[in-house]
Chains A and B, each alone.
Chain A
Amino acid sequence: MKKIHSAKQVFILTGVLSLLLIGMGVFSLTTGHLSISWNEISETLLGEGSRRNELLLMEFRLPRLLIAVLVGVGLGIAGALFQSVTQNELADPGIIGINSGAGLAVVLFLYFTARSSAIPLLGAISLPFAAFAGGAIAAVSIYIVAWKNGVTPIRLVLVGIGINAGFAALLTMIQLRMSESDFNQVTVWLSGSIWNADWTAVWSTLPWIVTLTPLAFYKSRTLNLLQLGDEMATGLGISVEIERIKLIAIGVALAGACVSVAGGISFLGLGAPHIARKLVGSRHQRFLPVTACIGAIILLISDMIARTILAPSELPVGLVVAILGAPYFIYLLINSED
């Protein structure tokens, strides 16, 4: 693929991707077990549709669409941050254990609080915080273990994979103590599922994505300088370790918010930044917005596959992303030798 360099081309590309995203969003509203025509959609959006269509669109399909977009953006940006900070293109919050740390915290939170039915919204709002705490614990553990006169990117990733395995093992231990139905529920959730997406989930994720994504965009210049290597960046007036910790914190918070609502969706944080980098290069002012678009598009496509392939039953969307993403990961590994 040829990289696009001029600002105009980047502008056009971002426009095309946004249009593609909107188009896919509308298309996703029309696909599903029950059919609904374009006319009915516009009627319903204007508030004049039948009750069935209003339920179908406003209660089931629209929240789900929004969650797919939010989580796609969030995991894409989180992945981009981890890759830039660790200067390792194989870093992904799913692979280095951030997601399983967040997942472990969510499962523990649910296990001990047994979500009170009186205030589901409160539970839903506190979930991202629990996930953030878990992700942060994972990140800190990785940092501490990987520390050896500073942290080299490759150590960070290798230690992360180890931490990931550790958290996954802990999760299994807890799951085995659960009742059968809880076990199944957690398993489906962990494989990445957005089929329960409702407005509560949207409202609990939205603030995180809407505030942290612009913050990541704002940090573009710092991210660019970090690419030059620690010494060069220090020379240019960046306090490397502090900035690194800030950026990782943003990444962990984004990943945590996504995990708390959609479970463990791996490879998205890996694939979206990669495709974006191939398209527009690694200047973050361009790279991050394109990553966000591509992350959302990938998750939307995967979600459509997930709910049409076995319709009316569904696959967890995380499995679809993994099926699409795993070969890409292997391809990257093979090519990284050259």
Chain B
Amino acid sequence: MKKRWISSLMLSVSMLLAACGSETTAPEQSEGDGATDTAGETDSEQTSNEPRVLTDGLGNEVEIPENPERVLASYLEDYLVALDVTPVAQWSVQNGESIQDYLQEDLADIPTIPHDLPYESVLEYEPDLMIVRDPIEQEMHDQYSEITPTYVLNSSPTEWRETLSEIGEVLGMEEQAQTVLDDYNSKAEEKAAELADSASEESAAAIWMVDSSLFVVHPERSSGAVLYEDLGLEIPEVVNELSGDADWAAISLEELAQMDVDHLFFVNSDGADADLFEDRLWQNIPAVQQEQVYEFGPETSWLYYGPIASEQVMDDVVSSIQE
């Protein structure tokens, strides 16, 4: 304990000294660069005994343990499940009441951890590797790193394929990640071909109702990417016009009523007795009248990202259209 105090003090003193004269700072920086180079060399020459060092999204060099067994990757459980890795705890909000329902077949017995990852909760599960995505502060990263090696993802949250590859790399499971990706892509190709036969040039859109507001999915994100990019359904013009920088863009009932769309995938977070269903505008939508609206609850994977979420959406779409 005493040692740590003293070393912290020495560190702060040396920092102060470094701050005082720029001359002192310059050589220190080049020393730092040198250290990085050496780290790079050891990385390339590494033998199986040496720990792997990866540079994470915050620019930290993270030592990855060999065969991590207690992995914590909150809100990234989809990828772990796809890679057959069991996390030590799973994401939750509202005191564990709200969790990722669509993954519960695989995560049923996994305890929950609050989404903001309090230090003591992380410590409780004693993970040997933690992967996080949310933009966390450097200070928090440093504190987590005291508990366990903590890797902040580089890949964008809207690109699940990149994320899968990166998590595969971090876990030393590149091959498995590639297999999952290949399986998904070939299944998507097959299903897209089937749809091209049975529903050629038909359009679709995913609408999400929550708190009586309507949202339409971005054509390149979440379930939108599955609908249009993977399964090749047509994008209604309105969807392109509305989409901005969010996964889901607000859409009014009037705009929805005018949308020229063959299949409407309706994610309902408000329940069966929502006022919307009584609205004349809704009842007059062509897709509603032709019974080409397919309803899904909030427990489905339509709002999520990841290989499991995307595959479930794909199955939902294909079975709905081919019914």
**A125 in the interface (beta carbon within 8 A):** yes
CA distance A181 to B157 in the complex (A): 14
B135 at the binding interface (Cβ < 8 Å): yes
* Chain B proximity of A310: nearest CB distance (Å): 8
A121 at the interface (CB under 8 A from B): yes
Count of CB-CB pairs between chains A and B under 8 Å: 75
Docked-complex contact B11 and A121, CB < 8 angstroms: yes
Q: Mark B2-18, 1 if CB is under 8 A from A, else 0.
A: 10100011011001101
Q: Does A314 contact B (CB under 8 A)?
A: yes
Q: Residues 40-69 of chain A: 1 if any B CB is under 8 Å from the residue's CB, otherwise 0?
A: 000001010000101110111000000000
CA distance A177 to B103 in the complex (A): 37
Q: In the complex the two chains form, what is the Cα distance from A206 to B273 in whole Å?
A: 59
User: Within the complex, what minimum Cβ distance (angstroms) separates A206 from chain B?
Assistant: 10
Contact check, A47 vs B1: say whether CB atoms are below 8 A apart: yes
Q: How far is the CA of A173 from the CA of B189 in the complex (A)?
A: 49
The segment out of A7-15, A155-163, A193-201 that lies at the interface is A193-201
Among B19, B118, B143, B146: residue with most chain A CB under 10 A: B118
Could you tell me the distance between the alpha carbons of A126 and B18 in the complex, rounded to whole angstroms? 13
Query: In the complex, what's the smallest C-beta–C-beta distance from A104 to chain B, in angstroms?
Result: 20
B120 touches A56 (CB 8 A): yes
How many Å lie between the Cα of A118 and that of B60 in the bound state? 9
Query: Which B residue sits closest to A58, measured CB to CB?
Result: B1
**Does A203 count as interface, using CB distance less than 8 angstroms?**
yes
Partner of A121, one of B15, B118, B143: B15
Contact of A125 among B15, B118, B137, B146 (CB under 8 A): B15
User: In the complex, how many angstroms separate the beta carbon of A299 from the nearest chain B beta carbon?
Assistant: 20
* Given A59-B146, A203-B9, residue A32 in contact with residue B120 (CB < 8 A): yes
Residues of B within 8 A of A122 (CB): 15, 18-19
Does A119 interact with chain B (Cβ within 8 Å)?
yes
B140 contacts which of A33, A125, A196, A203 (Cβ < 8 Å)? Answer: A196
What interface size band does chain A fall in?
20 to 34
CA distance A195 to B140 in the complex (A): 10
Q: How far is the CB of A45 from chain B (nearest CB, A)?
A: 7
Complex contact A313–B19 (CB within 8 A) = no
Q: Whole-angstrom distance between the alpha carbons of A251 and B147 in the complex?
A: 38
Alpha-carbon separation in the docked complex, A118 to B25 (Å): 12
Check B183 for interface membership: any CB of A closer than 8 A. no
Looking at the assembled complex, report how far the CB atom of A242 sits from the nearest CB atom of chain B, in whole angstroms.
31
Q: Is A185 an interface residue (CB 8 A)?
A: yes
The answer to whether A119 and B119 have CB atoms under 8 Å apart is no
The listed residue with most A CB atoms (<10 A of its CB), out of B19, B120, B137, is B120
CB proximity of B257 to chain A, nearest CB, Å: 31
- How far in angstroms is the closest Cβ of chain B from A86? 35
Of B121-129, B219-227, B286-294, the one with at least 4 CB within 8 A of chain A: B121-129
Contacts of A47 in B (CB 8 A): 1-2
* Chain B contacts for A59, CB-based, 8 A: 119, 143, 146
Q: How far is the CB of B5 from chain A (nearest CB, A)?
A: 9
Contact in complex: A196, B137 (CB < 8 Å):
yes
Report chain B residues within 8 Å CB of A120: 138-139, 142
Using a CB–CB distance below 8 Å, which chain B residues touch chain A? 1-2, 4, 8-9, 11-12, 15-16, 18-19, 32, 58-60, 95, 114, 116, 118-121, 123-124, 126, 134-135, 137-140, 142-143, 146-147
The 7 closest A-B pairs by CB, nearest first: A33-B120, A312-B121, A312-B118, A121-B15, A181-B135, A203-B12, A117-B138
- Besides the contacts A122-B15, A196-B143, what 8 more A-B pairs have beta carbons closer than 8 Å? A34-B124, A59-B119, A120-B138, A121-B11, A121-B15, A122-B19, A198-B143, A312-B118
